[in-house]
Every structure is written in structure tokens, then in C-alpha cells.
Amino acid sequence: MKKIVTGLLALTVIGLLIELAVVQAKKIGNTQGYEPDQPIPFSHKIHAGENKIDCRYCHFASERGRIAGIPPTQLCMNCHDQIRKDSPEIGKLREAIASDRPVEWVRVHELPAFVYFNHSEHVRGGVNCQQCHGPVESMTRMRQHSSLTMGWCLNCHRDMGNAPPHDVKTATGGDCARCHY
């Protein structure tokens, strides 16, 4: 009896360890929740939330190309030529333009090089920015909201299974090379 109990206990412990290992392993390369400090404490909350600037005003490429794009510094100055122009943070922007060296933002969302993702077809297809990027309008500091893993992509495309052409079968043909090349 004692042997059986010890055995069961050992099995449970091993099982738990394996479970733990799998859970941990799944996190490898997963940067969900990444929220680095930026060279300028730019707040999406102020811009997109309080002032209700449309995401696409700054991330103009999101409707047209693969990447949403970091807005050109000159675009910031469209407003900041007038607004809060004495702030030292805005000074950094002027400094960047004067010295011809762009601001080095820390990249938050990054897909591996072997993944193809195109913003334009999602944005034009009616997917809200928030659906993937979360409540950006309430983020003081930009945070990676979703896991951006392959399972996460597929889950979304599967949930829409009732509505081609967005389900995974119609959208990708179930082909690896729709996204990986």
C-alpha cells in the first residue's frame, strides 16, 4: 500500500514537473506583456485615448503595406510645432531632425523573420487595431498585448470559421507558405 502511494505520489510529481516544463517551454520566445522603456516616454493614452487621434494618422502605412510603420519624426512636428513645444521631450524630436539621426525607439512588436504578416489586408478587412494590439488608447507605455504566436493567429482565423474568406482554410488554404517563406 505504502509503495503504491509513494509510486502515485512520484508519478504526480513527475507529471506536475512535465506540465510545468511544457508551460514554461511554451513561453520560450513569447514576448507577451513586453513593455520596454522608450527614449521618449510617448503616451498612446494621451494621443489616441484623450485626444482621440486616429491610429492611422500616424501609422499611415497600416492600410497600404506590410508594416504599420513608425511615424516619421516630421509628422510629430505637424502638431508639436505648436503644442508643448517647450517640453524637453519634444526637444529630443527637434534634436533628431537637426542632427539628421532618427529617434531609436525600442521595438515592441516583432515577428520572426520567417513570418509574413501584412497589416494592410487585415486593416482593410475590418480588423480593429485593438483586436491584436489591445487597449492601446489606455496605455501610457506601449505594451505587447497579444502573444503573437502562431497558435494565436490560427485561433483567430479559426474563430471566424463561419465567415469565409477570413477562416483559415479560405484565407490561407491551410498552406504553410502563406505565412512562412
Is the Cβ of residue 116 or residue 159 nearer to other proteins in the bound state?
116
Least gap, CB of 106 to other proteins (angstroms): 6
Q: Which of 6, 51, 78, 118 binds other proteins (CB under 8 A)?
A: 118
Whether the link from the prior residue into 88 is cis, omega within 30° of 0, is no
CB 35 within 8 A of CB 143: yes
* Interface mask toward other proteins for 66-105; x: CB under 8 A: xx-xxxxxxx--------------------xx--x-xxxx
Q: By C-alpha distance, which of 44, 66, 68, 47 is closest to 56? A: 68
Least gap, CB of 19 to other proteins (angstroms): 17
* Cell numbers placing 100: 539628421
Is the Cβ of residue 3 or residue 107 nearer to other proteins in the bound state?
107
CB 52 within 8 A of CB 126: no
DSSP category for residue 163: S
State in Å, rounded, how far the first CA of the chain is from the last one: 57
Q: Which residues of the chain form contacts with other proteins (CB under 8 A)? A: 28-29, 31, 34, 36, 60-61, 64-67, 69-75, 96-97, 100, 102-107, 110, 112-114, 116, 118-121, 124, 173-178, 180-181
